[in-house]
């Protein structure tokens, strides 16, 4: 399972660096300017931090990272199906500027993901219900429904407003990766381990379970 991702956050002492993506200590300071024949001026709203690992700087204005022009959202899970990666990365690239747009794209990712795990992929709600009937764990069902509901609200605004809610949008990326881990990665690991059993043992298991 992938390690937890800690997004770059203003004045936090450690997070995943936007340059090297390594979780590392960050050293913060104010940014100022010296105008010719004038005194030094420090801008209280402009700050910077340097990564202890790669020693590169990120710049922040009013608590928002402005350089590098990088996303605070986690990278896609290594087992995210290739057909979904492009949409995920597009959502990741716009989440700072448009949390609502990112949520809408993640809803599309969810729709494609249910198809990847064997559902029709036409109606997310119906697909989730089908997965529940097949024994889907409650926490995975809840993660799917959180993505579905918030994604729907981003397309058809109702009780939730994601216009400026970057924190909630970031959590949706984490949910996508959690769902991939539970529905794809764990299944693949078990299938690989089972396939590694001696052929005779697997045949005996098959005979045992055949009516």
Confidence of residue 174 (pLDDT cuts 50, 70, 90): very high
pLDDT tens-digit readout, 124-160: 999 999 999 999 999 999 999 999 999 888 776 666 6
Q: Residue 201: is its pLDDT beyond 80?
A: yes
Confidence of residue 211 (pLDDT cuts 50, 70, 90): confident
The pLDDT of residue 126 is: 96
Helix-then-strand count for the chain, H and E: 7, 5
Nearest Cα residue to 30 out of 39, 11, 43, 18: 43
Query: CA-CA distance, 38 to 32, in Å (whole number)?
Result: 13
Query: CA-CA distance, 95 to 64, in Å (whole number)?
Result: 12
Domains in the chain, ordered, with CATH? 14-67 (no CATH), 82-196 (1.20.120)
Query: CA-CA distance, 39 to 150, in Å (whole number)?
Result: 50
Q: Which of 109-113, 152-156, 165-169, 193-197 has the lowest mean pLDDT?
A: 152-156
pLDDT tens-digit readout, 56-94: 999 998 888 888 876 778 889 999 999 999 999 899 988
**Which residues have CB under 8 Å from 105's CB, separation 6+?**
87, 88, 90, 91, 94
What are the backbone angles phi and psi of residue 121, rounded to the nearest 5°?
Answer: 80, 15
CB-CB neighbours of 74 under 10 Å: 21
pLDDT tens-digit readout, 78-88: 999 999 999 99
């Amino acid at each position: 399972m992938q390690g937890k991702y800690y997004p770059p956050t203003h004045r936090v002492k450690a997070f995943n660096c936007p340059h090297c993506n390594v979780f590392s200590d960050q050293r913060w300071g104010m940014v100022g300017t010296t105008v010719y024949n004038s005194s030094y001026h420090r801008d209280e709203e402009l700050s910077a931090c340097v990564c202890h690992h790669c020693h590169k700087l990120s710049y922040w204005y009013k608590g928002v990272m402005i350089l590098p022009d990088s996303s605070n959202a986690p990278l896609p899970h290594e087992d995210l199906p290739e057909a979904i990666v492009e949409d995920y990365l597009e959502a990741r690239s716009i989440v700072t500027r448009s949390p609502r747009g990112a949520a809408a794209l993640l809803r599309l990712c969810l729709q494609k993901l249910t198809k990847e795990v064997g559902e029709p992929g036409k109606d997310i709600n119906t697909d989730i219900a089908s997965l529940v009937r097949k024994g889907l764990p409650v926490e995975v069902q809840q993660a799917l429904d959180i993505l579905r509901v918030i994604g729907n609200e981003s397309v058809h605004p109702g009780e939730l407003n994601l216009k400026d809610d970057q924190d909630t949008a970031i959590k949706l990326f984490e949910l996508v990766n959690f769902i991939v881990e539970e529905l794809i990665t764990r299944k693949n690991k078990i299938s690989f381990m089972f396939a590694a059993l001696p052929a005779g043992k697997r045949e005996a298991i098959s005979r045992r379970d055949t009516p």
